[in-house]
Amino acid sequence: MGFDGAGWIGDNVIMKSASRRRSILGLCVVPALLLAACGGTEAPSGSSASSTGAGGATISSGSTGGASATTGSAATTTAGTGGDPGTSSSSSSSSSTGGGPMGCTGLPLCDDFESAVAGAAPDATKWAVVSPSCAGTGTVTVDGTVAHSGSQSVKVTGKGGYCNHVFLANTAAPVAIGKLMYGRFFLRIQDALGQGHATFLTMKDTADGGKDLRLGGQNQVMIWNRESDDATLPVLSPTGTALSVSPSTQAWHCMEFMVDGNAGLMQTWMDGTEVAGLHEDGVPTPDIDQQWLNKAGWKPSIADFKLGWESYAGQDLTLWFDDVALGPARIGCN
């Protein structure tokens, strides 16, 4: 075997560099070979990067049930490939608070509830507390003991029965955004949603007689429901429900949605992952959106945005919402 001078020199440099690095803190020799050891490597364009930070956790009128939540002391943030928004998830005790505020400055609606007074209603310049048609015992207050970020969130004490429904509502942002709207909020629920139909997000659709487009739960999974004809997305068949998700209780979940009123499309993500059963793509698919698309020409025009609790089967549920944002493009969970 011949003598490889270049290899011997390279090995010698590495050995000397390693020795010198052990004896002299902060010194990096042969940076091209030891860049990773010195720190500061940069992910190449198009790859993903992740970081872990403090805080976090994970979570309307509709026809299906099932969701959950728990707060956390540590959160993991991942930036995706191709410019997609990243995701954030974590867990913690119910009395703990999260990390820093979620970035959404400049959007038509962006609220982390830190400016409101604990125990009182949310900021009246952004929200109205409403109980459409009839009012009961449900309540909405700012909670200073549970949060996804910062130290406060909104707590909804939801009671069973339609007239016990209660929501925090914003009307300005959906009108300002227009036909293509994206939303992001963090949700935490005390107990799992049941078999009966319930809702935690409703939006008035002026193109559908003022009836609500609703996201909630039934059959212990999340569903979209259209109030005007009671259509569900996905279809409540065994195959359809298997294509939705059943979020964990006592944890924060990042919920994202898209409603395209120009094309009549919808898309939904939980913790950064698209939910196949909650995607209406305009092409009728059995067990998913075939029933939904039976209403020809459906193209919603959203006039408000409401978060809260409305139960049609009598279930009580306590929920928390935090880091709520609406905009004309996907916002992400970071």
Q: What is the pLDDT of residues 284-332, one digit of tens each?
A: 999 999 999 999 999 999 999 999 999 999 899 999 999 999 999 999 9
Please indicate, yes or no, whether residues 18 and 145 belong to a single structural domain of this protein: no
Please indicate, yes or no, whether residues 21 and 145 belong to a single structural domain of this protein: no
Please indicate, yes or no, whether residues 150 and 25 belong to a single structural domain of this protein: no
Residues 107-150: tens digit of each pLDDT: 999 999 999 999 999 999 999 999 999 999 999 999 999 999 99
Buried b (16+ CB within 10 A) or exposed e, 117-150: eeeebbeeebbebbbbeeeeebbbbbbbebbbbb
Compute the mean pLDDT over every residue in the chain, rounded to the nearest whole number.
Answer: 78
The angle that helices 31-38 and 5-23 make with each other, rounded to 10 degrees, is 30
Place of tokens 């569900």: 232
pLDDT value at residue 98: 55
Q: Does residue 259 or residue 61 have the better pLDDT?
A: 259
Please indicate, yes or no, whether residues 24 and 78 belong to a single structural domain of this protein: no
The CATH number of residue 176's host domain is 2.60.120.200
Residue 253, both tokens: 């979940």
Residues 15-47: tens digit of each pLDDT: 333 333 333 333 333 333 333 333 333 333 333
Q: Which domain holds residue 85?
A: 52-327
Q: Is the pLDDT of residue 102 over 60?
A: yes
**DSSP 8-state assignment for residue 64:** B
Q: Is the pLDDT of residue 180 over 90?
A: yes
Q: What pTM does this model have?
A: 0.73
Q: Is the pLDDT of residue 103 over 80?
A: no
Q: Does residue 144 or residue 51 have the better pLDDT?
A: 144
